[in-house]
Structure 1
Amino acid sequence: MEVKLSIRISFGALLALYLGTGIAALSVGGYFIHTEENSRRSIIVTKNVIALLFVAGAYIILNAIVGIIAGLSPLSRKRWLQAYVWLIVITMFVETAVGIWLWLRTLDIDDLYGHNWRHLWSDSFKRTFQDSAQCCGYLGPLDGPVMASPSCQLPSDRAYGCMKSVQKYAQSYLTYIYSGVFVFVFLSLGAMISGMILMIVRNDEERWRWTRANAIFRSMNQATPDSTITDKHRQGTPNQSP
């Protein structure tokens, strides 16, 4: 009895998808780190987000390597397989927490980005929104505008604020990101389930081998005393007196 090939193939396929999420996280982090600071994506993709992508990608890749080592010989590497499954559980908890946090941010866009516009964002960054949406200031020309932008040169009764543009951009970008995070969660769940199935199958195989070995050992123990007694009986019979 061996671990079925179909189970090992399923485990390998889901492990490859799980590994792909780690590579994707590193790739996206590398792409964003080369983005210019005045890009509108910076309202979502901060330095902390980029650092999180690199840490998560490296963690997932190392976790996948543990799974590869375990999958090459699951019968003899039980602890590796257990470590692989538990590490995925941690990944799922973190990914779910990040996804929920990003979703909650979409519910607080009004206060969050109004504060950021007035106190945190640089003029060059705010001008990126003003030039792309042809707006001025956050609520209007009197709310933190960058006067160098052509849109702020319009009469005050014709200029309008960038609040809707900022909110629309942030909402759509956050939606893409937390949707992608939840896709990662489902792929991690599939990898975890396949690892658990492989663990159950290898445990059954291990028990079957131990049962068979014990049965053979018991049969040998039962046969050995009988043959010894028979030999002694045969050797002692000619020496008995009539």
Structure 2
Amino acid sequence: MANLRRQQYYYFFFLTIYILTGVGALILGNVWLSQSAAGGAPREAVISREIEQAGTIIGGVVVGTAVFGLVGGAAPIKLKVILTSFVFMLIGAMLAELGLGGVIWFKTLRMRSLYQSQWPTWPDTLKIAFQDMTSLTGYGQCCGYTQFTDVVLSGACADPNQQFDGCEEKVSAFADGYLRKLFTSLFGFTIVNVFLFVSAIILILIRNDEERYIRIRNKEGRTYTNVI
């Protein structure tokens, strides 16, 4: 029983981190979706609404499956079915996170061609946000995607006596930084899931040994009170 209790502590430690990743994804996804509805944020050019929705759904799935993990982990001997079901749900959550991370990573491989084709379709507010962006280190004022191409005549770009480079490099640098942080976080979540998965499997194995011990004790006529 002592081994089972000790393993439960490890299990709940990783389960807590798992829950926090889900809550974080859920909150961040909802914030981004609400900001996207307002429009004009440079992030909208990098992360599509579909990706934001997928991240929010995955966060909800993680939190939802964690309920099964909490219930099954609290009473692994009595509720083995729930604990085992959680393991399969955890595998599904890992695959979903890996899939979304893969989609985001793939976008980093074709950023220049992707955003060159998308720039003409962006609203002027989004183009202006990139043209006037000064928060990105090493990149100042720019106009259009490539020089003199689809320029929004606003601010410094409206001055005919001023000439600035296109925003291609700035857009690519902004997108690369954003996307790398995202898929790195998702793959980091997956590492947490792997530790939780291993911890859950060990808990099930110890639980099976404990159940066999209970059966032997019962056959010998000795009473055994099982509270978990």
Measured against the shorter chain, the TM-score band is 0.7 to 0.9
CA contact (8 A) 1:135 1:152 kept: no
State the partner residue of 1:222.
none
- After superposition, where does 1:1-242 map in structure 2 within 5 Å? 1=1, 3-35=3-35, 36-118=38-120, 120-132=121-133, 133-141=140-148, 143-155=149-161, 158-216=163-221
Identity over aligned pairs, percent: 26
CA contact (8 A) 1:88 1:188 kept: yes
Work out the CA distance in 1 between the residues paired with 2:122 and 2:49.
14
Deviation at 1:185, TM superposition (A): 0.5
Deviation at 1:5, TM superposition (A): 2.3
Counterpart amino acid of residue 132 in structure 2: D
CA contact (8 A) 1:139 1:160 kept: yes
Deviation at 1:108, TM superposition (A): 0.4
Unaligned runs of 5+ in 2: 134-139, 223-228
Work out the CA distance in 1 between the residues paired with 2:84 and 2:185.
27
Deviation at 1:2, TM superposition (A): 5.5
Deviation at 1:111, TM superposition (A): 0.7
Counterpart amino acid of residue 217 in structure 2: R
Work out the CA distance in 2 between the residues paired with 1:154 and 1:207.
84
Unaligned runs of 5+ in 1: 218-242
State the partner residue of 2:226.
none
Work out the CA distance in 2 between the residues paired with 1:182 and 1:57.
14
Work out the CA distance in 1 between the residues paired with 2:161 and 2:117.
25
Q: What TM-score does the superposition give when structure 2 sets the normalisation length?
A: 0.87
Work out the CA distance in 2 between the residues paired with 1:50 and 1:38.
16
Deviation at 1:60, TM superposition (A): 0.5
Name the count of aligned residue pairs. Answer: 214
CA contact (8 A) 1:22 1:56 kept: yes
Work out the CA distance in 1 between the residues paired with 2:117 and 2:170.
15
Decide which moves more: 31-40 or 99-108.
31-40
Counterpart amino acid of residue 72 in structure 1: A
Over 4 Å off, 4+ runs = none
State the partner residue of 1:228.
none
Q: What TM-score does the superposition give when structure 1 sets the normalisation length?
A: 0.83
Work out the CA distance in 2 between the residues paired with 1:164 and 1:30.
30
CA contact (8 A) 2:22 2:60 kept: yes
Deviation at 1:163, TM superposition (A): 0.2
Decide which moves more: 99-108 or 162-171.
99-108
Work out the CA distance in 2 between the residues paired with 1:9 and 1:154.
68
Deviation at 1:125, TM superposition (A): 0.7
Deviation at 1:27, TM superposition (A): 1.3
Decide which moves more: 129-138 or 77-86.
129-138
Deviation at 1:9, TM superposition (A): 0.7
Counterpart amino acid of residue 100 in structure 1: G
Decide whether aligned partners of structure 1 residues 191 and 154 sit closer, same or farther in structure 2, where only a CA change above 3 A counts: farther
Work out the CA distance in 1 between the residues paired with 2:46 and 2:11.
35
Deviation at 1:213, TM superposition (A): 2.9
